[in-house]
Structure 1
Amino acid sequence: MNINSPITNTSNVSIIKKIPTKELIYYYKKDLNIDVTKYYSNLQEIYVCICEETGYKFYYPLDLGGDSDFYGHFRKYPWYYMPWKWEHKEAIRYVKKGMSVLEIGCAEGDFLSRVKNIKDVKATGLELSHDAAIVSRKKNIEVYEELIEVHATKNLEKYDIVVMFQVLEHISNIREFILSCLSVLKPGGFLLISVPNNDSFIKLDEKPVLNAPPHHLGLWNVRSLISFSSIFNLEIVSLLFEPMQKYHLPYFYQILYGNSIKNIFGNVVGKILNKILRSIFVFFVSFIRDYITGHTIMGVYKKKKL
């Protein structure tokens, strides 16, 4: 089997794991009440691969991503599209008055609306969800319902800063995607990318449903984000690590202790014990959570001037 890296387009790739699709189908239905059978196209298993040059792990076949129906399912969960997060606060530090800002995957325009009001910038968003785009436009945001690859053909070196929050892990054609981002960025401009940090506590989750297709198509970490510097000729300005957020503490507990307690004591007793212990855990860990690496990492890059 010849598999090329989505970043380097070379064949220096190893298969590190096989996952039965019936297992993913079962847990998506059990945990999130969604049937994902159609996204696996009758495949019996999928592969977790690693690009040896960059450390980027990705799922194969590459074309396993969800569609608008899939992502529409998650709109009912308040934790899925949060209006203001850690990475928004960090990103806004790089935005200066009068800049032209592009957000890829702007959802309902919460970040762009905030940055536009605070920094008085020219704010543009790309969003494939028609319903979300409508909401963004009501906030006086210029939104295009098109891919960055399409947008790039008409907007070369237009923007001072390009941002994306929790987007890249959903993309399969990484190389083309990043090159398109860079083509719309002015020389000396900033590219900000936030993704789940698979060096953090989330790597301990034995059943990471949302960290697998059709939701996530790639698994990013420090090494793979650093590789952008040499592959795409970028200056790394900073790598920022999210501290543990309070709303992630129940999930953190579940990974560390909750699943094991349920397996040992059964559903009924385990549920009671977990309810008690989870509350105690969240209370005490809240005092030290700033010292625990959280869910997200953000890479800040600068496009080199020729």
Structure 2
Amino acid sequence: MSYVQPVDLVDRLTAAGASKVKYSAGATILRATMAGAILALAAAFAVSVSTQTGQPLLGAMLFPVGFIMLYLMGFDLLTGVFTLVPLAWIAKKDGVTLPAMLRNWGLVFLGNLIGAVAVALLMAIYFTYGFSTEPSAVGQAISEIGHGRTVGYAEYGAAGMLTLFVRGVLCNWMVSTGVVGAFMSDSILGKIACMWMPVMLFFYMGFEHSIVNMFLFPSGLLLGADFTLMDYLLWNEIPTVVGNLVGGLTFVGLPLYFAHRRKQASAGAPGALPSADVAGAPAATGAPAADVPALALPSAAEAEAPLVGATR
């Protein structure tokens, strides 16, 4: 599967994060809009499978299809840029400033929202024959999800808010692991396997994903579910976004970066040896650390695109 060693993986992650802040506003929004739309269709598909078969595990197993396709096509989710762009900022990549990072997050959020809400409208029309009938069984299931994951949390007050936040944290722990998985292999099958497993886990466990929720809750409102727009924002979307940010950085991005980042030997130090971070990956071959040749780093374009059979 052409496994990528952790020290090289971190180089790819920081290069990919740096490349994302360099796109124009229009390109960033377009990439994010397509990502939100594809993920929303995958969520609708998974709920349809779960409802019609009575097997939630089957729906969870199939949901990652959308996630994998959008990443192989080079589109962006907010949960992914929450992890990748801060690593580029910490690594002091050229052009990656705090304002540039916040701009990227804002544009990706907007694009994801546009794509997810557009699909919510289309699916609401589909579930109701153009709003001329009651929602289908799948539409009713989506409505119930919206009610249970807003009012259901509100009933528990602070404890409900804490639970919602923790579910957001756990979600992007898994989803960002899937994002990183796209960089762990140089083969398409390897990328698919590494992305599939953690994303399936998040969906089956019912964790809170801010972009999936941009589809589920507007769909519920369009289908007549018993909650309000303010319920959705206060008792789901806003805490979920914060939880996703914390989860992706705390449990995926920062541990990988600080455990495996490439460290330079002190300048001018006679006889200085490469750090353990540099030599750690090839050490399994038995080659002495001092004999390890310098590894070529991928360009930002190579790191950005997992679909080109090689690196992402």
TM-score by length of structure 2 reads 0.26
Larger radius of gyration: 2
Higher RCO by CA contacts (8 Å cutoff, separation 6 or greater): 2
Structure with the higher helix share, 1 or 2? 2
